[in-house]
Amino acid sequence: MQSAHSKTEKRRALQPLWNAFTQTVKPHENKGLLLAISGGPDSLALMEAFARWPGRAFAETMVVSLDHGVRPNAKEEAQRVVARASVLGFRALCDSRYPPLKGGNGEGQLRKWRYSRLWQLADQHDLGCLVLAQHQDDEAESHLMDLLGLGGGPEGASMGREAKHANGLVLRPFLGLRKDQLGLALSALGLSQYAVTDECDQKNQNWRAFLRNEVMPHLARANPKMTQRLAGKASRQKDVNDIVRVAARRSISHIAGEKIMIELHDLPSILLRFAVHEALRILSPQTDFRQSGTTIDKIIEAAESKPLKTSGFYHFSGVKAGLSEGQLILQRL
């Protein structure tokens, strides 16, 4: 695995990644780190750069590569990641599990399963942080997906470089870096040819891949800095969401463990939307409600009607909601 690049060229290519580690990972290094590495170019850049990071304190760190059987060569790819991680001096694990997928939105189910399994492994090995390789291009795509009603974060908000989870922290040090910066680092190390190519991505088999391959290049022609612009909007939206979420929580009161009540009196629609999201998260923390916008829109429309529309229930995955005079009551099923 030799590279024709000089030591100076390698250092220059790796420095932005090292700076990102210093900013995001260093403050939490002592909690223990699980690096989630798929073998794609982004996660491979994460592992290789982290192994060479001069600021690394050699705290408890583990590399995990998940094989969920979606691609024919997934197990072999995961095993190659583990072999390389071992050479770099990491404790490493290949985890082969095949999640049962039901109905549509296989991409969403896989994402949910991946996070759940990674946290299980982190808990088993007493590691408090997941370190992921998502970058600025991912942020831009997620923001666009939300605008088009295809997924993404709440109101198109950033994933956040640090995100709290019930089990610890999710760290995304590369959100301020472009995908091509990660590729440059991998190329400087002479390792680009070892990265796995996702056929599903190449064939546009999900909406994110379609936007990445077919839409974003056209937008970049109109504005070469479109990725940075969309990612910047996502970051600012997260700041707004954090402020609004605090205000929305004031309208929420717990009735019992299975029920939550939201006071509707003169509650602006934006606060009601966030209050519903918070209530759903509390009642069913493991469920992905990002596709529930249409149902929430119907609740807001009914809540703002004069007189109040109180007939019937609104159904989410594992939760039902009903309006009564001045209140919205959500109940776990």
Q: Shortest CA distance to 316 belongs to which of 304, 302, 329, 330?
A: 330
Instruction: Give dist(CA 303, CA 324) in Å, integer.
Output: 9
Q: Domain 7-208: give its CATH architecture.
A: 3-Layer(aba) Sandwich (3.40)
Low-confidence residues of the chain: pLDDT under 50: 1
Q: Distance between CA 92 and CA 243 in Å, rounded?
A: 39
| DSSP per residue, 74-121 | HHHHHHHHHHHHHHTT-EEEEEE------SS-HHHHHHHHHHHHHHHH
User: In this predicted model, what pLDDT tens digit does every residue of 133-176 receive, in sequence order?
Assistant: 999 999 999 999 999 888 888 889 999 999 988 889 999 999 99
The rounded distance, in Å, linking the Cα atoms of 12 and 188 is 9
DSSP β-bridge partners for residue 327: 263, 324
Residue type, 102: K
- Which residues neighbour 302 within 8 Å (Cβ) at sequence distance 6 or greater? 308, 309, 310, 323
Say what the pLDDT of residue 256 is. Answer: 78
Q: Where are the domains of the chain?
A: 7-208, 250-332
β partners of residue 65: 94
Yes or no: say if 32 and 70 are a contact pair by the CB < 8 Å rule.
Answer: no
Domain spanning 250-332: CATH 3.30.465.60: yes
For 29, the token pair is 């290094």
Closest to 237 (Cα-Cα) out of 157, 176, 159: 157
Amino acid (one-letter) located at 63 = V
Per-residue model confidence as pLDDT tens digits over 61-82 = 999 999 876 677 888 999 999 9
User: Is the bond into 307 cis (omega within 30 degrees of 0)?
Assistant: yes
CB 290 within 8 A of CB 152: yes
Helix (H) or strand (E) holding 277: helix 269-283
Q: For residue 183, list its beta bridge partners.
A: none
Amino acid in position 39: G
pTM for the full predicted model:
0.87
| Under 8 Å between Cβ of 17 and 35 | no
Q: What is the pLDDT of residue 102?
A: 63
Whole-number pLDDT of residue 3: 61
